[in-house]
Amino acid sequence: MDLLVELPPLITFVGGVNWTVGFLTTVGIFAIVALALNLQWGYTGVFNFGIVAFFMVGAYTSALLTLERPGDFENHILGLEWPVPLGWIAGSLAAGVLALLIGLPTLRLRRDFLAIATIGVATILRSAVNSTEGLANRGAGLIGIPRFLDGLVDGADYRWVMLGIVLTMLAFVYVVMAAATASPWGRVLRGIRDNEDTAMAAGKHTTVFRVQSFVLGGMVMGLAGAIFAHRQGAISPTGFSDLFGTFLVWTMLIVGGSGNNRGAVLGALAVGFFWFGTPLIQEDLPDFLGTRVFQLREIAIGVLIIVFLLTRPGGLLEEEPRVSRFVPKPGSGSGAFNTAHEEGGP
Amino acid sequence: MIDFVQLIIIGTIVGSIIGLGAMGLTLSYGVMKFANFAHGDSMALGMFLAFIVVGDLGWAGSDIGRLSFGWGMIPALGLAMIGVALLNISADRTIYRRLRRRGAGIITMAIASLGLAIIVRAVIQIVWGSAPLRYSTGINPALTLPGDLKAKPDQFFIVGLTLVVAFGLYLLLYRTRLGKAMRATSDNPELAEIAGIDTERIRMSTWAVAGALTALAGVMFGIQAQLQFNAGFEFLLPMFAATILGGIGNPWGALTGGLIVGITQETSTEWIDAGLKPGVPFVLLIGILLIRPRGIFGSTV
C-alpha cells in the first residue's frame, strides 16, 4: 500500500477529532454563559449588556489566585498558588460582587438603565488592566495559568480531560438552573418579568428578586470565565472583546430560545458552530468572500439577531409555559419577548 | 493651575463632541422610547462617510483659514449627515416599525439596535479596513492664548459649531410646527395621534434629525482624532451618561450633560491615572442614577 495515499485521510480524521474536541470545549463554556444570561434575561427580564465584564472578572480573579508568584518579567498582584477549584469559586464570587455593585443602583429603575450601565464596564476593566502597573501584567497578559487535573494524562490527551471538566460543569450549572427556575423562586422571577405590578401586588419585593437573579447569573458568568482562563492558559485584556464575550452570547440565547434552558444550550451549539466553523471553509470560498469571512460572519450575527426578533422572537425552542409541576400547563402568553411586560418600569 | 485650565479647555472640546452626539441620542430616545445601541456605530459611520469625500476621493479643497481641513469638508459633512439619516430611516422602516406594529416593547427594539450596530461596524471594517485613518495629514498648530494656554483652531471650530447647532435645534423644536409635533409625540404618542399628528411621519423626521446630529458628532470626532472602525461602541457610554444626566428627551440637558462628562473626564487626570479615564462617565452615570434618575433637568419620558 502506498503510505502517501493513506496518510492524508488519517491526518484529516485526527485533525477533525481535535477540532471537534476543542470546539465542544469552547461551546460548553459559552453554553454556561448562555444559561446564566437565560436566568437574567430569559426568566427575569434583566437586561445585561456587559456579560464579558463578569466573564473577565472571573477569569482574572481565578488566574491571579492560582498563579505562581510573579517572576522577573511579570508584574501582577497575588500569585498565591491556590488550588484551581478554589480559584474558580473565588472568580465566581468576585463576579457576583461586581453584579451586586452595578445591580443595586440600577435594577430599581427603568429596565434599560442596567443595559446602559453595563455597556461600558468591560471597556473600563480592559483599560484599567492595560494601564495599571502591577495589577495583572498590563497588556502582555497573564501566562502559565495552571491546568486543573493536569497530572492525569499526557499533554496531548489533556484536551479530553478539559472537555470532560467543561461538560461536567455545564451539567452542574444546567441542573442548578433548571432547579432554580422551576422552584417557587423561579416562578416569582417569571412573574416579575411578565407583569411586575401583579408581582408587587402579590407582596413580592421585585427589586430584591431582580438583584438576586442578576447576581446569581453574574456568578455563573464569572465561573465560566474562570474555567476559560485555565483552559486557555494565557489571558490578556484584548481577548475579552464585547463582540466575543457579550454579543455572541446574546445571539446564542435569542436564536436558541429565551426562557428555555435547553434552548440556551442549543443556541450555544448552533451559533457556536456557525461562528467557529466559518473560518474552516475560508479557503474554499471565493477570494472576495474568503478574505472577509470574519467580518461577514459578524454581519451574519447581526442579521440573525434582527431576523429572529422579527420572525421568531421565541427562538428555536420556545419557552414552555408552566406555573408549577403541580398545575396543568396553561396557554401561552408569557416569555421574555412578550409584549405586555416590557414597558419602561416605574 | 494653568494645567488645570488647559484640561478644562480640552474637556470642553471633548464635551462638545459628546454633547452633539448626545443631542441626537436623546431625541431618538425621547420620541422612539428605546435606547438605540446602534448610535455609537452610526456615529462612526458618519465619520467614515465624510472620509469618502476628503480621503477616498481626495477632495480636500482649499484651506479654510487656519483649520486643518479645507472646503471639501462641507460636502463631506453633507454626505455624512444624509447617509446616517438615511440609515436611521431605513432601519426604522425595515426593523423598528415592524416591531412597533407588533406591539414589541422597548427592550426588544434595543436588542434589535444592537444587531444593527454589529452589522454597521463590520461593514465599516470591510470598506475602510482596520488601520486607523486621518482626514488630513497636515498638522494643526495650536494657538497660544493669554495665560500661556493652548488651543487649536480646529477646536474653536468644534465648540463654535456645537453652539450653532444647539441653537438651531432650539429653533427647530420650539419655533416650528414640526418641532412642536416632535415634542408632542415624545410626551404622549397616543394623545399626539388623537390631536391629528401623523406620528409615523414625526418618527421619520426625528430619525433624520437625530442621524444628522450623530453624523456631525462623528465628523467632529474624526477631525481631532484618528478614524477607527471600532470606535462606535466606545462612544456609547459617555453619550448615554450625558443623555441621562441631562434627562432623556431633553436636548439642552444632553449638551450640558456632554460638557459635564467631557470636563470631568479630562480634569480627572489631575488625580487619577489616564488609563482609568473611561471609568469617569460610568461613575457619573451611577451617581446620577442614585441621586436623580430623571436627570438634572428632568426627562420627557
Question: CB-CB: which of B37, B110, B282 is closest to A121?
Answer: B282
Q: Element (H or E) spanning B150, and its range?
A: strand B149-151
Task: Answer yes or no: do A124 and B282 touch at CB < 8 A.
Answer: yes
Q: Residues of A17-31 as b/e, b for ≥16 C-beta within 10 angstroms?
A: eeeeeebbbbbbbbb
Q: For position A97, what pLDDT does the model report? A: 96
Task: Answer yes or no: do B282 and A298 touch at CB < 8 A.
Answer: no
Q: How far apart are the first and last CA of chain B?
A: 41
What is the domain extent for residue B37? 2-131+156-291
C-alpha cell at B127: 470598506
Q: B291 — contact with chain A (CB < 8 Å)?
A: no
Q: 3-state class of B151 per DSSP?
A: strand
Q: For position A346, what pLDDT does the model report? A: 33
Q: B283 — contact with chain A (CB < 8 Å)?
A: no
The set of residues, in sequence order, having a beta carbon less than 8 Å from that of B28 and lying 6+ positions away, is B36, B39, B88, B206, B207, B210
Q: Whose CA is closest to A291, among A299, A302, A283? A: A283
In chain B, the percentage of residues whose pLDDT exceeds 70 is 98
CA–CA separation, B38 and B189 (whole Å): 23
Residue B138 included in any domain: no
Tell me, what's the ipTM?
Answer: 0.89
Q: Element (H or E) spanning A213, and its range?
A: helix A206-232
Task: Answer yes or no: do B106 and A342 touch at CB < 8 A.
Answer: yes
Residue B143 included in any domain: no
Indicate whether B204 pLDDT > 70: yes
Distances (CA, A) of A45 to B32, B107, B159, B279: 20, 9, 41, 26
Residues of B in contact with A102 (CB under 8 A): 286
Q: For position A11, what pLDDT does the model report? A: 52
Q: B274 — contact with chain A (CB < 8 Å)?
A: yes
Residue B281 included in any domain: yes
Residue B249 included in any domain: yes
CA–CA separation, A336 and A251 (whole Å): 14
Residue B247 included in any domain: yes
Q: A106 — contact with chain B (CB < 8 Å)?
A: yes
A303: left (phi over 0), alpha (psi -120 to 50) or beta: alpha
> For the segment B81-135, what is each residue's pLDDT rounded down to a tens digit?
999 999 999 999 999 999 998 888 888 999 999 999 999 999 999 999 888 888 8
Residues of A in contact with B125 (CB under 8 A): 295
Residue matched to cell numbers 483599560? A127
Residue ranges of domains in chain A: 3-342
- Highest mean pLDDT: which range of A277-281, B89-93, B138-142: B89-93
Residues of A in contact with B106 (CB under 8 A): 111-112, 342-344
**Crossing angle between the packed helical segments B279-291 and A111-119, to the nearest 10 degrees:** 160
Q: For position A331, what pLDDT does the model report? A: 53
Indicate whether A1 pLDDT > 50: no
Question: DSSP letter at A56?
Answer: H
Q: Would you say how long chain B is, in residues?
A: 301
Residues of A in contact with B126 (CB under 8 A): 292, 295-296
Q: Whose CA is closest to A227, among A24, A74, A22, A89? A: A89
Our separate counts of H helices and E strands in chain A read 14, 0
Residue B182 included in any domain: yes
Q: B234 — contact with chain A (CB < 8 Å)?
A: yes
Task: Specify the CATH number for the domain of residue B88.
Answer: 1.10.3470
Task: Answer yes or no: do B118 and A299 touch at CB < 8 A.
Answer: yes
Indicate whether A10 pLDDT > 50: no
Q: A40 — contact with chain B (CB < 8 Å)?
A: no
Residue B142 included in any domain: no
Residue B193 included in any domain: yes
Number of domain units in chain B = 1
CA–CA separation, A195 and B273 (whole Å): 45
Q: B114 — contact with chain A (CB < 8 Å)?
A: yes
